Amino acid sequence: MINNNIPLISFFDRVQSSLAAKKNKYVFVTESPHWAPQGKRWLAFFVSELIDKFGHAPIVVGDPVQWEYSKFKCISFQDFTATVDAVDDLVVLSTSHNCPLAKSLVDSYIYNIIDMTSYAIDPKKIEYIYNEEDSKNIAALFKSISDPDSIANLSSILFARYTGLLSFINVSKYPIYQHPVIDFSSMTGVVIDAGSYDGKESEILRKICEKAESIYSFEFDERNYTKFKDNINPEIKYINAGLWSTNTKASVSGNGIASKVNINFTEESGTDLVKLDTFLPENCNVSFIKMDIEGAEIDAIRGSYRVIQTQKPILAISLYHRPNDLWLIPKLILDIRSDYKFFIGQHDKLLSETVLYAI
């Protein structure tokens, strides 16, 4: 299941062994304000342990303004390359594997770069790989998929999580949410787009599902909802609400595409969260459900129990927002209805945009 040509060395062991072997300085690379907060969190959580063990602090290469109040020294890339003597003695820990700064290191013949992107995004993901309980769930997930592409995608995702080697991630060749085995042109029922963000995916679904009765476009964050509500397509039903396991209220935190839901069970304020089973009429025919709802997928699936059990709509569900979504979501779906066939798509080179297609 894992690439047998690469030693299965954990991310932490790989970093520590590399540093121990060279006994050198090491560098953390950041590129932009977007990455700076992630980088600072990573430095505080991980690099401090390496400092204690190996006895030397990292140099931060990037924008000194972004690190003005950090305890770590930050220098520009130009100053860094001008002062480095033996580049072979460096270990570079980077959270921007494809950023211009990291590429500049390669151009300067600095190749010993360990990609930290997955760890900086979500350190907990590494903790969930290969402990006894989760290994059983992972094995069950492999048994539930059979096509070579899905097996390769799942293997590469697990391998990247465990080692931090994002370069081994397979990227699917078809557009996200549009697995080639799905016949959108024959769908005649309702199509659900949960987590429509700017409405573009709903527009795509309207075009490819020509025979669909209607498209329901759910967007919980009003800030996102206002971006597309003025461009209303009369063939799409826009709903400023999120899907959940019960009907309740909630507030939102975060910004834009990565907004998070904070549940407020007092039901006195906030945006509506709705249970799909009660939101739709019982006689409503549902053909397709897409969910990309920032970690609320499991609760939304529970709230769609009746629809899934009685109608078996095709599902396209994000698997990456929480570390164990990768195996808990497929398990939940099979608990509701055991005759689904699973495919796994991977739609970028990071540990995100992983989609379960249940057909």
**What is the per-residue pLDDT for 91?**
59
**pLDDT higher at 227 or 268:** 227
Cβ neighbors of 283 (< 8 A, separation 6 or more) are none
d(CA 277, CA 266): 22
Number of other residues whose CB lies within 10 A of the CB of residue 146: 11
**What is the per-residue pLDDT for 5?**
44
Least-confidence region, from 214-223, 229-238, 275-284, 322-331: 229-238
Residue 103 confidence (pLDDT) above 60: yes
Q: Please, are residues 27 and 62 in contact by the beta-carbon 8 Å criterion? A: no
Q: Please, are residues 238 and 217 in contact by the beta-carbon 8 Å criterion? A: yes
Residue 3 confidence (pLDDT) above 50: no
Predicted confidence band of residue 30 (pLDDT cuts 50, 70, 90): low
Predicted confidence band of residue 34 (pLDDT cuts 50, 70, 90): very low
pLDDT, averaged across the chain: 77
pLDDT in tens, 223-263: 888 777 666 788 899 999 999 999 998 876 554 444 455 55
∠ CA 330-317-346, rounded to 5° = 95
Structure tokens, 326:
């990768």
Predicted confidence band of residue 33 (pLDDT cuts 50, 70, 90): very low
Predicted confidence band of residue 324 (pLDDT cuts 50, 70, 90): confident
Residue 4 confidence (pLDDT) above 50: no
Identify the burial level of 208 via C-beta atoms within 10 angstroms of its C-beta, where 0-12 means exposed, 13-18 middle and 19 or more buried. Answer: middle
**pLDDT higher at 65 or 200:** 200
Least-confidence region, from 46-55, 75-84, 301-310: 46-55
**What is the per-residue pLDDT for 134?**
74
**pLDDT higher at 129 or 307:** 307
Sketch out the chain's domains with CATH numbers: 11-121 (3.40.50), 173-318 (3.40.50.150)
**What is the per-residue pLDDT for 201?**
93
d(CA 166, CA 116): 9
pLDDT in tens, 188-236: 999 999 999 888 999 999 999 999 999 999 999 888 887 776 667 888 9
| pTM, entire model | 0.73
**What is the per-residue pLDDT for 109?**
64
Predicted confidence band of residue 1 (pLDDT cuts 50, 70, 90): very low
Give the residue-averaged pLDDT of 258-281.
74
The crossing angle, in degrees rounded to 10, of helices 132-144 and 148-163 is 160
**pLDDT higher at 65 or 347:** 347
Residue 352 confidence (pLDDT) above 70: yes
DSSP β-bridge partners for residue 113? 92
Give the residue-averaged pLDDT of 2-29.
53
Give the residue-averaged pLDDT of 114-128.
56
Residue 149 confidence (pLDDT) above 60: yes
**What is the per-residue pLDDT for 231?**
67
d(CA 66, CA 344): 38
3-state secondary structure 157-195: HHHHHHHCCHHHCCCCCCCCCCCCCCCHHHCCCEEEEEC
β-strand 236-239 against 214-218: which pairing, if any? parallel
Answer positive or negative: Cα dihedral of 164, 166, 167, 169. positive
